[in-house]
Amino acid sequence: MSRLVKKRSKKIGLAPGTLVHLGTPRPGSTAVELIEYGADHLEQRKLDSLLQCSLPKPAPSVTWINVEGVSQVEVLQHFGECFKIHPLVLEDILATDQRPKAEDYGEYLYVVLKMLRLNEASGQLQAEQMSIVLGENFLISFQEGLEGDVFEPVRLRLKNDKGRLRQTGPDYLLHALLDLIVDNYFLILEKIAERMETLEDELIANPDEGTVQAIYQMKREMLFLHKAVWPLREVVGRLQRRESPLILEENIIYLRDLYDHTVQVVDTMETLRDMLSGMLDIYLTSVSNRLNQVMKVLTIIATIFMPLSFIVGLYGMNFKHMPELEWRYGYPAVLIFMAVVVAGMLYYFRKKRWF
Amino acid sequence: MSRLVKKRSKKIGLAPGTLVHLGTPRPGSTAVELIEYGADHLEQRKLDSLLQCSLPKPAPSVTWINVEGVSQVEVLQHFGECFKIHPLVLEDILATDQRPKAEDYGEYLYVVLKMLRLNEASGQLQAEQMSIVLGENFLISFQEGLEGDVFEPVRLRLKNDKGRLRQTGPDYLLHALLDLIVDNYFLILEKIAERMETLEDELIANPDEGTVQAIYQMKREMLFLHKAVWPLREVVGRLQRRESPLILEENIIYLRDLYDHTVQVVDTMETLRDMLSGMLDIYLTSVSNRLNQVMKVLTIIATIFMPLSFIVGLYGMNFKHMPELEWRYGYPAVLIFMAVVVAGMLYYFRKKRWF
Amino acid sequence: MSRLVKKRSKKIGLAPGTLVHLGTPRPGSTAVELIEYGADHLEQRKLDSLLQCSLPKPAPSVTWINVEGVSQVEVLQHFGECFKIHPLVLEDILATDQRPKAEDYGEYLYVVLKMLRLNEASGQLQAEQMSIVLGENFLISFQEGLEGDVFEPVRLRLKNDKGRLRQTGPDYLLHALLDLIVDNYFLILEKIAERMETLEDELIANPDEGTVQAIYQMKREMLFLHKAVWPLREVVGRLQRRESPLILEENIIYLRDLYDHTVQVVDTMETLRDMLSGMLDIYLTSVSNRLNQVMKVLTIIATIFMPLSFIVGLYGMNFKHMPELEWRYGYPAVLIFMAVVVAGMLYYFRKKRWF
Amino acid sequence: MSRLVKKRSKKIGLAPGTLVHLGTPRPGSTAVELIEYGADHLEQRKLDSLLQCSLPKPAPSVTWINVEGVSQVEVLQHFGECFKIHPLVLEDILATDQRPKAEDYGEYLYVVLKMLRLNEASGQLQAEQMSIVLGENFLISFQEGLEGDVFEPVRLRLKNDKGRLRQTGPDYLLHALLDLIVDNYFLILEKIAERMETLEDELIANPDEGTVQAIYQMKREMLFLHKAVWPLREVVGRLQRRESPLILEENIIYLRDLYDHTVQVVDTMETLRDMLSGMLDIYLTSVSNRLNQVMKVLTIIATIFMPLSFIVGLYGMNFKHMPELEWRYGYPAVLIFMAVVVAGMLYYFRKKRWF
Amino acid sequence: MSRLVKKRSKKIGLAPGTLVHLGTPRPGSTAVELIEYGADHLEQRKLDSLLQCSLPKPAPSVTWINVEGVSQVEVLQHFGECFKIHPLVLEDILATDQRPKAEDYGEYLYVVLKMLRLNEASGQLQAEQMSIVLGENFLISFQEGLEGDVFEPVRLRLKNDKGRLRQTGPDYLLHALLDLIVDNYFLILEKIAERMETLEDELIANPDEGTVQAIYQMKREMLFLHKAVWPLREVVGRLQRRESPLILEENIIYLRDLYDHTVQVVDTMETLRDMLSGMLDIYLTSVSNRLNQVMKVLTIIATIFMPLSFIVGLYGMNFKHMPELEWRYGYPAVLIFMAVVVAGMLYYFRKKRWF
Ligand SMILES: [Mg+2]
Ligand SMILES: [Mg+2]
Ligand SMILES: [Mg+2]
Ligand SMILES: [Mg+2]
Ligand SMILES: [Mg+2]
Ligand SMILES: [Mg+2]
Ligand SMILES: [Mg+2]
Ligand SMILES: [Mg+2]
Ligand SMILES: [Mg+2]
Ligand SMILES: [Mg+2]
Ligand SMILES: [Mg+2]
Ligand SMILES: [Mg+2]
Ligand SMILES: [Mg+2]
Ligand SMILES: [Mg+2]
Ligand SMILES: [Mg+2]
Ligand SMILES: [Mg+2]
Ligand SMILES: [Mg+2]
Ligand SMILES: [Mg+2]
Ligand SMILES: [Mg+2]
Ligand SMILES: [Mg+2]
Ligand SMILES: [Mg+2]
Ligand SMILES: [Mg+2]
Ligand SMILES: [Mg+2]
Ligand SMILES: [Mg+2]
Ligand SMILES: [Mg+2]
Ligand SMILES: [Mg+2]
Ligand SMILES: [Mg+2]
Ligand SMILES: [Mg+2]
Ligand SMILES: [Mg+2]
Ligand SMILES: [Mg+2]
Ligand SMILES: [Mg+2]
């Protein structure tokens, strides 16, 4: 997972709209992919990132341009000029710690959010910022630059099936992309829930300091998720209230469905957070309990052996005149007396339910 | 109780409206039951789940179709085509981890919520998702598929009494069904409250680690209930504000009554949660207290016997010249001295109220 | 105090408006008292609870019917028919765990809340549900059935003074009754505050496990009060915003005064809750402190006597060749050495401020 | 500071508007002071509290009547009749535990709040209820009856400077009085902040049980302040939104300034509360740490001397055949062996960073 | 960092608009800098602070006057008269503990907030109050008086580049200044996040009481930041909603961008606060764990050596008749027996996973 706070300070004092990439540049150079489609045609090709500017085909044809990698500032500048995107938007695309938001610029809509994935090899959570510019007949998606994305199923649906996705405008494509991103949040939450359950079992069976570390680690991950997901709810909420005419009336129903999923993600996340904080309480309780256990063992041992040691010490004294020492059965008498003391102690502890 | 997070991830990348069953398929195949009634007639029969499509009789006749089990996707498809239900609704019916909500689709109203029951044999909490589609002259209820439901009293009232239920539209039937579901929430809360009181007594009489486990377990159950009940309040609130014309003016009063019950459920739930968190505090306090008790016993024992052991050790030394050892009454003198020491200690602890 | 959760489950499946009494029936049968008054007349008599139905005199005469005990369902039915009260209202009157609310039924206003009293003998908190039906020229109050009520001062004012109470409508009578109920909340809160202060002193002087139990007990009582008072604020708030024409313009000012009192009750209650939670913190702190104290005593004793015991043990060894044992002043030398060790220890502990 | 809950119960059952003084009557009888002023005249005199009723001079002259002490009910009644103040207002003036509020009675505005002062001698916090009735050409301030007030600066400004205060209406005088009261809240908060810093130093240098008591005491004071200040924010907020025509348009700007101060008081108070709760956490942590320290000392001592005592005990046994006892250098060998054991222990503890 | 509560009390009783400097006067006298610019001209000069009043050039020329140091009351008075600034505004400029706010005075807009910087030498956080008066063709910034500011980049942009900043009105200059201040908040948060991560590592590797002190210190700093940043969000929010006509329509987009940054600052701050409170939990857990560890060592030692000491004490008794003492192999038998006891103990502890 990326750091919770990024180095925004290197932008101090720059004019708004100055393009500066924020965060570590992801490996690999910018790749641009273009898919142009309509009800009866589809064309997919790779673009040279700095090709001359050619406007997308008019509606009802839809052009989807997917840009992978934003660390090359000149590519962004090129897109800005070509599609008349405001420098403030370009700046936000480059600032990879953007809070999810949707902004209406009249000619186009700007949406930014986090795309989360699980690295299949290491099982680690990876976040990539996704910026989407939605125009009347085009959609441009800018990915922060982590290789690959979660959009493969949309590409397949575009190619294979000629349903709604091929027949309506780019706003439905926007829905499809957002839906995939949100679906992947469910996957992340499932994985976290699984780890949480493992942790829970560990907590009950054999908790140690590693367990606390793990709880704390998950708390941090939940904080990161919270930052990514909480504002998204508002973003999708605004889209489904159709605050921009770029969203068609007929597609609202799908955005409402998406909103429903987003709310469910937030809800699940809150439930997991509640469970986490409950787990720390349980841990603390169990530590206290074990301390009690240890102290009882110590007290039982001390309470039994201290009096015994006193007694044997007593008859280890070197006084000249100690009549008991001379008795024929002094030794066995002392042994029996000590056995009685021990029995009394054990009875007392048993009555107090100490073991 | 079912898992807090379900495997939604298997739906990743599917087009909206693609029908995929979520969760473990409940045993038994789909059963469809039809009740057609009006002020002066009532017909009840079992349907073949894939019979050809016949539209329900026109109003004022009311048709209630109750579908038990949603894991057979083709049955859902059949209903969708026959009653012109939107694929997004069908998709939600199949997704058995849906957050309670009400959606207005113009021609019909879609309501989804959780039906909770106590298994009479095991005493365990069982949740079944309930989806209801309310049309002008029909109501279809889709149950997740757990055998049986809580609707028996409504069936009886339909058969036996010719009151309001037989004389008004399907919106009143909707009220009757929701009312039963909410009534069962009260039952669940009563059972939880009873267990909580048992736990409370245990907490005071004889708390152990099992008690904490039980508190934690109840916290999880309350989280589950919270997820099910909290959004329901909003759902019923919207119904009673009559946001859809499918709800008749004259039945609003009954939905207001239902809303009142829902608020009471939420209120009771919050009270129980507050009590639960108070119980953990009490437990922690009592653990601390018992630790204190144990430590006092240890300290008393050590404080009494350590000085005594020192004294007897002293006269166990083998120095050649130790005048006390030669005294005629050295031994009894030491015994008396030690008795005095013990008495002093006991007086000190008594004064400090240690026992 | 009554249980926090009542057995609502026995109403499962009944049609709305079915009359079922909830809770333990209070002893004694239903008693009905009628007071009919105007600016210049007042008549007070006991009614047979099932007398034939006679409508109250027209305005400006006001009829107050006070019903004590709701466990006899037929009495309620009688009133329902006679005054045309909706079955849903009758049902709520019988359900004695109702959340405080106000509902406008056009012809009449229905208000339900909790009347709290301190039993003068046992000093215990007693709750009785109070339902009020306010019509244009009448007011009916239904008490759950605990003997007596808090309305005696209103009866006296009706009889003795011919002021506003005798000259305006039943809405002013409603105000007078609610005002008395709220005034009694202040009394309850005062008693609780007094007990809290006693507890506070105990907490500082001599806390034990009983103190925690008492704090927990008070927490539960506050939860109960919270449930009774919090929604009342909304109820009175709605009345004073005059959402029903049954409230006269000129009496609004009195309801505003009542609202002010209700807010003050809520405020005081929240303050008491804050104090309670602070008390538990103090208790935990003091337990920790005493543990520290105990452990210091133990450590001081052990640190002083363990080295001494070692030394005397050393010279208790039976080696043939131990020159010190032969010395003339070996014994006093060891005694002096041990005194030095003790002094050093004490100096160390004093420096560490352990005593 | 006065008690958190006052005896309101003695008002139970009285008709609204019945005048009953609440709280302990402050010493000294009622004193009435009158200041009549305009742009070019000012007259100040003491009034007999029950003088016959003479209406204030018409605007633009302003009459300020300051009443010190409200325990004499007949004085209040006199004012009520003379200035046509509603009995409900008079009742609130007498009820000295009123929650801060502003009420519009058309002809006049009623404002009630708490005036806080530090007793210069004892340094204690003193609260006095302040009720203000603002008419078109007059302002009456009723003080609960603690000797003196915080208004001296306003009296001076009235006498000495002929600025805005002398030239506009009584609403500006209201602002001046409220402003002074709020300014004194800052003084109180400063004192509390100072004490808090002292406490903080004590907490770090040398915390004991007295520190906790002090923290708890401050928590209670903050609760009292919270009750006094929090609703005031709403009161001044309403004044500056000019909900009454008695507030002149041109003076709104000053009330906005006052509102700003009130918000700052609330903010500062919340900051202090946050700091207080942080301090308790620090204290608990430090208690735990010291317990750890004590236990380490105990464990080190026990771990070193228990094995040593065992060894010397071993050679204190009286077996006939113990070859070591006969050895020439048995005693020094044992001494050396024990030194090695001690060194090993110390090395172990040092490695574990126990000291 | 400055104190959390400043001495506002010295203003008690002064008329509103009386100019009193609050806080310690910063070293150095007032310095006034004037920058007059338009699309094609720019003039920058230092002003004598009490020069005669000359109104700024008319629009489209923009005049920026930057005042460093507000402790000289006469300078403020001069500006007040010259630019017709309301005394209440001047008073707020002098009160250096102002809560961030924006106030519309018709002719001009008043904005006040905190400018935070890191002292490059000491690495300490420094706060300086910044007041801005925005007119139609001028902007005056009043700095509390700490040497320097964060505006250098704006001065450079004004001189070097002839873009938007030179071509639009003073509202865009306002944006540029606020943007710089907010950008510096990011810098502060980054530094705090870095220190927090260091602290986190320390917490896991080697926590001690200094760690708690550091956490507490950071909590206080976060409280200070919270006070400075939280209200700023509302301030910028109001600006971007364009509540004043002094903000041009075309510049709204930039203020929206600024608002976005402010929200991000608040968000980051809340995340850091959550992390801080998690850290204290971890610390407490780790203290408990170490106590457990220490107690286990003690218990193991005591449990092993107390029985052994008893045994050797037993055979140190001086009874005449103790047959074992005479046995040939009594001594080795006892040694072997003790070895068995030790082995048993160790096995028991190992099974209990104590080490
Ligand atoms: Mg910038
Ligand atoms: Mg931006
Ligand atoms: Mg990518
Ligand atoms: Mg989805
Ligand atoms: Mg929720
Ligand atoms: Mg806790
Ligand atoms: Mg999908
Ligand atoms: Mg859906
Ligand atoms: Mg079923
Ligand atoms: Mg019901
Ligand atoms: Mg919640
Ligand atoms: Mg509640
Ligand atoms: Mg029912
Ligand atoms: Mg009801
Ligand atoms: Mg009664
Ligand atoms: Mg009252
Ligand atoms: Mg409050
Ligand atoms: Mg609450
Ligand atoms: Mg705590
Ligand atoms: Mg009253
Ligand atoms: Mg009142
Ligand atoms: Mg006074
Ligand atoms: Mg002020
Ligand atoms: Mg705040
Ligand atoms: Mg708070
Ligand atoms: Mg002032
Ligand atoms: Mg001000
Ligand atoms: Mg400066
Ligand atoms: Mg910025
Ligand atoms: Mg948030
Ligand atoms: Mg906050």
Could you tell me the residue range of the domain that residue A304 belongs to?
294-351
Q: What is the largest CA-CA distance in chain A?
A: 121
Structure-token pair, residue E136 = 């139609």
**Angle (nearest 5°) at CA D224 between D220 and D229:** 140
Query: Backbone phi, then psi, for A155, in 5-degree steps?
Result: -60, -40
Query: Most confidently modeled of A291-300, C38-47, D163-172, E106-115?
Result: E106-115
Q: Closest approach of chain C CAs to the CA of D151, in angstroms?
A: 28
Residue C3 included in any domain = no
Taking alpha carbons only, the member of E112, E103, E105 closest to residue E131 is E112
Return the half-sphere exposure (C-beta side, CA atoms, 13 A cut-off) of residue A152.
6
Instruction: Give which of B157, B159, B287, B310 to mutate to test C binding, by max C Cβ within 10 Å.
Output: B310
Which residue, D285, D306, D338, sits at the end of a domain?
D285
Contacts of D90 in chain C (CB under 8 A): none
Average pLDDT of the segment spanning A31-54: 86
Asked if D294 and C295 count as a contact pair (C-beta separation under 8 A), the reply is: yes
d(CA C56, CA C83): 9
Q: Tell me whether residue A263 is exposed, middle or buried, using C-beta atoms within 10 angstroms of its C-beta: 0 to 12, 13 to 18, 19 or more.
A: middle
Tell me, yes or no, whether B190 and B328 share the same domain.
no
Contacts of C156 in chain D (CB under 8 A): 13
The pLDDT score that the predictor gives to residue C203 is: 83
Asked if D131 and D111 count as a contact pair (C-beta separation under 8 A), the reply is: yes
Query: Backbone phi, then psi, for D117, in 5-degree steps?
Result: -140, 160
Of E99, E295, E317, which has the smallest distance from its Cβ to D264's Cβ?
A: E99
The pLDDT score that the predictor gives to residue A319 is: 87
Tell me, yes or no, whether D172 and D267 share the same domain.
yes
Give the H/E segment covering residue C225. helix C209-240
Q: Edge to edge, what strands does the sheet with B109-118 contain?
A: B42-47, B31-37, B62-68, B138-143, B125-134, B109-118, B101-104
Of E153, E268, E309, which has the smallest distance from its Cβ to A13's Cβ?
A: E153
Residue C2 included in any domain = no
Tell me, yes or no, whether D249 and D332 share the same domain.
no
Q: Binning pLDDT at 50, 70 and 90, where does residue A33 land? A: very high
Residue A1 included in any domain = no
The pLDDT score that the predictor gives to residue B3 is: 60
The pLDDT score that the predictor gives to residue E1 is: 38
**Alpha-carbon distance values, E237 to D266, E223, E231, E261 (Å):** 22, 22, 10, 11
Task: Tell me the CATH number at D131.
Answer: 3.30.460.20
Tell me, yes or no, whether C312 and C231 share the same domain.
no
Tell me, yes or no, whether B277 and B230 share the same domain.
yes
Residue E2 included in any domain = no
Which residues of chain C register pLDDT less than 50? 1-2
Residues of chain B with pLDDT > 70, as a percent, come to: 97
Residues of chain D with pLDDT > 90, as a percent, come to: 47
pLDDT-wise least confident of A153-162, B13-22, D77-86, E139-148: B13-22
d(CA A336, CA D154): 92
d(CA B20, CA B72): 9
d(CA E147, CA A187): 53
CA C196 to chain centre: 12
Q: What is the 3-state secondary structure (H, E, C) of chain B?
A: CCCCCCCHHHHCCCCCCCCCCECCCCCCCCEEEEEEECCCCEEEEEECCCCCCCCCCCCCCEEEEEEECCCCHHHHHHHHHHHCCCHHHHHHHHECCCCCEEEECCCCEEEEEEEEEECCCCCCEEEEEEEEEECCCEEEEEECCCCCCCCHHHHHHHHHCCCHHHHCCHHHHHHHHHHHHHHHHHHHHHHHHHHHHHHHHHHHHCCCHHHHHHHHHHHHHHHHHHHHHHHHHHHHHHHHCCCCCCCCHHHHHHHHHHHHHHHHHHHHHHHHHHHHHHHHHHHHHHHHHHHHHHHHHHHHHHHHHHHHHHHHHHCCCCCCCCHHHHCCCHHHHHHHHHHHHHHHHHHHHHHCCCC
d(CA B60, CA C327): 120
The pLDDT score that the predictor gives to residue C3 is: 61
User: Which ipTM did the prediction report?
Assistant: 0.86
Residues paired with residue B266 on neighbouring β-strands, in sequence order: none
Task: Tell me the CATH number at C320.
Answer: 1.20.58
Tell me, yes or no, whether D16 and D101 share the same domain.
yes
**Alpha-carbon distance values, E126 to C266, C300, E2, E22, E115 (Å):** 43, 48, 7, 17, 8
d(CA D53, CA B156): 77
**Interval B250-293: pLDDT, tens:** 999 999 999 999 999 999 999 999 888 888 888 888 888 888 88
Report whether pLDDT(D55) > 80: no
Amino acid code (one letter) for B144: E
Q: Which has more pLDDT, D2 or E147?
A: E147
The pLDDT score that the predictor gives to residue A3 is: 60
Report whether pLDDT(B1) > 50: no
Kindly report the average pLDDT of chain B as a whole number. Answer: 88
d(CA B102, CA B93): 12
The pLDDT score that the predictor gives to residue E10 is: 78
d(CA B111, CA E128): 56
Sign of the CA dihedral running D72, D76, D81, D87:
negative
The pLDDT score that the predictor gives to residue B50 is: 67
Helices (H), E241-329: 252-314, 323-326
Measure the CA dihedral A326/A328/A334/A337, to 10°. -130
Report whether pLDDT(A355) > 80: no
Contacts of E284 in chain A (CB under 8 A): 284
Report whether pLDDT(B230) > 70: yes
d(CA A312, CA A334): 8
Tell me, yes or no, whether E71 and E167 share the same domain.
yes
Please tell me what DSSP assigns to residue E10. G
Asked if E221 and E1 count as a contact pair (C-beta separation under 8 A), the reply is: yes
The pLDDT score that the predictor gives to residue C50 is: 67
Structure-token pair, residue C87 = 């079955």
The pLDDT score that the predictor gives to residue C74 is: 87
Contacts of C199 in chain D (CB under 8 A): none
d(CA C113, CA C101): 7
Task: Tabulate helix, strand, coil % of chain E (nearest 5).
Answer: 55, 15, 30
**Nearest ligand atom owner, CA of D182:** 23
**Alpha-carbon distance values, D82 to A148, A237, B192, D46, D69 (Å):** 84, 59, 62, 18, 18
Tell me, in angstroms, the distance from the centre of ligand 5 to residue A267's CA. Answer: 5
Residue that has been written with the tokens 């530090």 in this structure:
D118
Q: Given the DSSP bridges, would you call strands B62-68 and B138-143 parallel, antiparallel or unpaired?
A: parallel
Amino acid code (one letter) for E238: R
Residue E205 included in any domain = yes
Q: Which has more pLDDT, D92 or B59?
A: D92
Query: Angle E87-94/D252-314 helices, nearest 10 degrees?
Result: 20
Domain count of the fold of chain E: 2
Residue B1 included in any domain = no
Tell me, yes or no, whether D92 and D62 share the same domain.
yes
Residue D2 included in any domain = no
Q: Closest approach of chain B CAs to the CA of A295, in angstroms?
A: 7
Q: Which has more pLDDT, A87 or A54?
A: A87
Please tell me what DSSP assigns to residue C125. E
Of D8, D212, D331, which has the smallest distance from its Cβ to C322's Cβ?
A: D331
The pLDDT score that the predictor gives to residue A309 is: 92
Tell me, yes or no, whether E26 and E99 share the same domain.
yes
The pLDDT score that the predictor gives to residue D1 is: 38
Residue of E nearest to D256 (CA): E103
Residue of B nearest to C86 (CA): B253
Tell me, yes or no, whether D214 and D310 share the same domain.
no
d(CA A184, CA A154): 13
Instruction: Give which of B253, B317, B324, B354 to mutate to test C binding, by max C Cβ within 10 Å.
Output: B317
Tell me, yes or no, whether A209 and A95 share the same domain.
yes
Which residues of chain E register pLDDT less than 50? 1-2
Q: Tell me whether residue A123 is exposed, middle or buried, using C-beta atoms within 10 angstroms of its C-beta: 0 to 12, 13 to 18, 19 or more.
A: exposed
d(CA A312, CA E316): 8
Instruction: Give which of E299, E303, E349, E351 to mutate to test A binding, by max A Cβ within 10 Å.
Output: E299
Cβ–Cβ gap B284/A285 under 8 Å = yes
The pLDDT score that the predictor gives to residue E50 is: 67
The pLDDT score that the predictor gives to residue E2 is: 46
Kindly report the average pLDDT of chain D as a whole number. Answer: 88
**Alpha-carbon distance values, C263 to C268, D11, E233 (Å):** 9, 17, 31
Residue E3 included in any domain = no
Helices (H), E170-208: 170-205
d(CA A178, CA A172): 10
Average pLDDT of the segment spanning B61-74: 91
Residues of chain A with pLDDT > 70, as a percent, come to: 97
Tell me, in angstroms, the distance from the centre of ligand 22 to residue D68's CA. Answer: 5
Residue of E nearest to A301 (CA): E303
Of A165, A275, A310, which has the smallest distance from its Cβ to B223's Cβ?
A: A275
> Given a contact as 3+ CB pairs under 8 Å, which chains touch C?
B, D
Contacts of D317 in chain E (CB under 8 A): 312, 315-316, 331, 334
Please tell me what DSSP assigns to residue D246. T
d(CA B269, CA B230): 10
The pLDDT score that the predictor gives to residue E340 is: 95
Neighbours of ion ligand 23 (CB under 5 A): D 179, 183, 261
Tell me, yes or no, whether D280 and D298 share the same domain.
no
Which residue, A235, A268, A285, sits at the end of a domain?
A285
Of A154, A278, A299, which has the smallest distance from its Cβ to B294's Cβ?
A: A299
Residue of B nearest to C320 (CA): B318
